[in-house]
Amino acid sequence: MHEHDVLVIGGGGAGLRAAIAAQEEGADVAIVTKLHPVRSHTGAAEGGINAAIREGDSWDLHAYDTMKGSDYLGDAPAIETLAQDSPEETIQLEHWGMPFSREDDGTVSQRPFGGLSFPRTTYAGAETGHHLLHTMYEQVVKRGIQVYDEWYVSELAVTDEDDPSERTCHGVVGYDIKTGQVEGFKARNGVILATGGLGQVYDHTTNAVANTGDGAAMAYRAGVPLEDMEFIQFHPTTLPSTGVLISEGVRGEGGILYNAEGERFMFEYGYANNDGELASRDVVSRAELTEINEGRGVEDEYVYLDMRHLGEERITDRLENILHLARDFEGVDGLEEPMPVKPGQHYAMGGIETNEHGQTCIDGLYAAGECACVSVHGSNRLGGNALPELIVFGARAGRHAAGTDLGEPEIATGRDEEFEREDGLDTPVDPGAVGGASDAVADGGERTDGSRSSSDARSDGGTAVASADDVVQRAVENQRTRIDRLLNEDSGVQQAELREKLQKSMTQNVNVFRNEEGLKTALEDIREVRERYEDVYVDDPSRTFNTDLIHTIEMQNLLDLAEAITLGALARDEFRGAHWRQEHQERKDDEWLKHTMLAWNDGSPELYYKPVILEGEEDTYEPKVRSY
């Protein structure tokens, strides 16, 4: 068994920053990651990092823009922490050698981004994430932080008290992708999940194949609630044939959107009379799809993004990477032609419920980055706000896990019974009633992910307390059994068929425009796929680089998260941020100023709500009509 003070699961931006912070506080830290750190999806981030570092700008303006962008569903303490800490964290990156783009006078450049009242997006060309990862990985190497790369974490080693908030996380189980060995990793202080996004729930996404929401799904099954999962961001400018992202930086530099009639539709049809192309992403995505649905799209599928007027010098200086992406993935020369674009899944606003120290309701278990929901983005993330979230909350989680006192958190995790009593559970959906999730518990209490339901896992009548080593070892045995079973089965259904069915249904039914009928269809599809997953098998019996096995394990995570997204979306009968409902065209602040929480209750999803915190350090944020 491997043993460290702090285990960071994931080597992307959040994981690297957390590991560096924990190491700085004196902890023995290791990173366990299924990809080499610099291959993490943070490397695909193009546009930049929001930080109020210039005269005329301030953290409270950044916080206000973020709260407005969130459509008043972000929590003020998280938003204000992001806005206050992001300048220092960004300057720290600069001191570590991050090659930020600069003005002629040597100052760091900043560009405008959607929904920002000040041009505060700091960038390194259109390859900001690539440089961010390399800059921080250098620090990890310099500090001698151990990296277990190409280790897939498939289960958290958590104690089995009935009440999740009494459980403790002692480590994780890792599967060595190179050799097929299953081994335990024990954490003396804490485990930080930094496993990134879940874009593979959809078939048209800017996210990499590795973005399967593993950490969020594992935490959910271990007893941590998922928060605000229905809020999925669809980015307005993705290439139609692949989903590859064309950065918001193009519009930030002055790029223009046209429909098939050559009209600048953001103004022509009044979608955003002030900010036009630089309105918030949810607004622009809906505008594009409305154009397409009303017959003004190109080939009924996309619109044009034009940057030719910016001139070759500016484009090659600030957006060179965009030229490569458009040429390599769409065969279009961005200097000569407009680029075809349409909305695609991009980001999960929801995730593992945490407070501003990265803590979950399970002792010793933390989360940071895209897999977490602290909540900064509420119902809609502003472009350029995810990278600062990684460094600000990654660093805080690392410090806290290493034992640093960060004070009393303002954001509570766990259930608010008084709020629930007053609120009553007024939702049109009974999450357990549609069947399904409980089907994931097979005979003998063993789930398809190999973990056991809490009541079944306690073989001693609930009195003895298992040692940390026992908890890790028991999880290791679960995973050995699960993997042996998947590899030894010689017939059944293959994950690729199930994945395709799930992704297509989610893209069809739980997209930018949503209605009750589509959401119910998606839920039926998810539960049908879940039943068929009981018969899943892996054709390739090898233990060396068996990607089919990994994808089969990931499939369980996609299923759990797809169900969480759809249940949350079905229950929320209002239109807020990225969540548009055909039957419910207004934001309903009287009823819905609350976070959707989904808990895994011994095999069935349980839905409840907790209040949004709008009280800031100085003022309370008053919900207003959101126009751009």
Burial 212-237 (b: 16+ CB within 10 A, else e): bbbbbbbbbbbbbbbbbbbbbbbbbb
- Long-range contacts of range 425-429, CB-CB < 8 Å, 24 or more positions apart? 425/607, 425/608, 425/609, 426/591, 427/571, 427/607, 428/570, 428/571, 428/573, 429/567, 429/570, 429/571, 429/607
Instruction: Report the alpha-carbon distance of residue 595 to residue 610 in Å, rounded.
Output: 5
Q: Which two tokens stand for residue 358?
A: 């990265």
In terms of CB distance, is 557 or 566 closer to ligand FAD?
A: 557
In terms of CB distance, is 34 or 530 closer to ligand FAD?
A: 34
| Residue linked to tokens 């729930």 | 201
Q: What is the CA radius of gyration of the chain?
A: 23
Instruction: Give the SS3 label for residue 367.
Output: strand
Cis link prior to 375 (omega < 30° from 0)?
yes
In terms of CB distance, is 137 or 621 closer to ligand FAD?
A: 137
Burial 178-190 (b: 16+ CB within 10 A, else e): eeeebbbbbbebb
Question: What minimum distance in Å lies between the beta carbon of 218 and ligand FAD?
Answer: 7
State the catalytic residue, choosing from 17, 120, 281, 482: 281
In terms of CB distance, is 345 or 505 closer to ligand FAD?
A: 345
DSSP state of 445: G
Question: What minimum distance in Å lies between the beta carbon of 459 and ligand FAD?
Answer: 28
Phi/psi at 3 (nearest 5 deg)? -145, 130
In terms of CB distance, is 90 or 195 closer to ligand FAD?
A: 195
Question: What minimum distance in Å lies between the beta carbon of 553 and ligand FAD?
Answer: 8
In terms of CB distance, is 450 or 518 closer to ligand FAD?
A: 450
Question: What minimum distance in Å lies between the beta carbon of 443 and ligand FAD?
Answer: 26
Question: What minimum distance in Å lies between the beta carbon of 591 and ligand FAD?
Answer: 30
| Residue linked to tokens 């009280």 | 615
Instruction: Report the alpha-carbon distance of residue 494 to residue 63 in Å, rounded.
Output: 46
Q: Which two tokens stand for residue 295?
A: 């017959």
Q: Which two tokens stand for residue 191?
A: 């485990």
> Contact residues for ligand FAD (CB under 6 A)?
9-15, 32-35, 37, 40-42, 44-48, 128-129, 152-153, 194-197, 206-207, 210-211, 214-215, 245, 346-347, 369-371, 384-387, 390
SS (H, E, C) 257-325: EECCCCCCHHHHCCCCCCCHHHCCHHHHHHHHHHHHHCCCCECCCEEEEECHHHCHHHHHHHCHHHHHH
**Cβ–Cβ under 8 Å, residues 76 and 374:** no
Question: What minimum distance in Å lies between the beta carbon of 312 and ligand FAD?
Answer: 23
In terms of CB distance, is 362 or 372 closer to ligand FAD?
A: 372
**Cβ–Cβ under 8 Å, residues 215 and 194:** yes
Question: What minimum distance in Å lies between the beta carbon of 174 and ligand FAD?
Answer: 7
Instruction: Report the alpha-carbon distance of residue 555 to residue 547 in Å, rounded.
Output: 12
Closest alpha carbon to 227 in 104, 101, 73, 340: 73
- Give the max Cα distance, the chain: 73
For residue 176, the surrounding DSSP H or E stretch is: strand 169-176
Question: What minimum distance in Å lies between the beta carbon of 45 and ligand FAD?
Answer: 3
Q: Which two tokens stand for residue 499?
A: 């994945």
For residue 142, the surrounding DSSP H or E stretch is: helix 128-142
DSSP H helices, 361-489, are 386-401, 417-423, 454-457, 468-488
In terms of CB distance, is 281 or 587 closer to ligand FAD?
A: 281
HSE, CB side, 13 Å, CA atoms: give it for residue 178: 7
Question: What minimum distance in Å lies between the beta carbon of 300 and ligand FAD?
Answer: 25
Residue type, 311: G
Question: What minimum distance in Å lies between the beta carbon of 193 and ligand FAD?
Answer: 8
In terms of CB distance, is 429 or 483 closer to ligand FAD?
A: 483
In terms of CB distance, is 217 or 440 closer to ligand FAD?
A: 217
Comparing every residue's Cβ against ligand FAD, the nearest one is 12
For this structure, is 281 an active site residue? yes
Residue type, 375: S
| Residues that are catalytic | 281
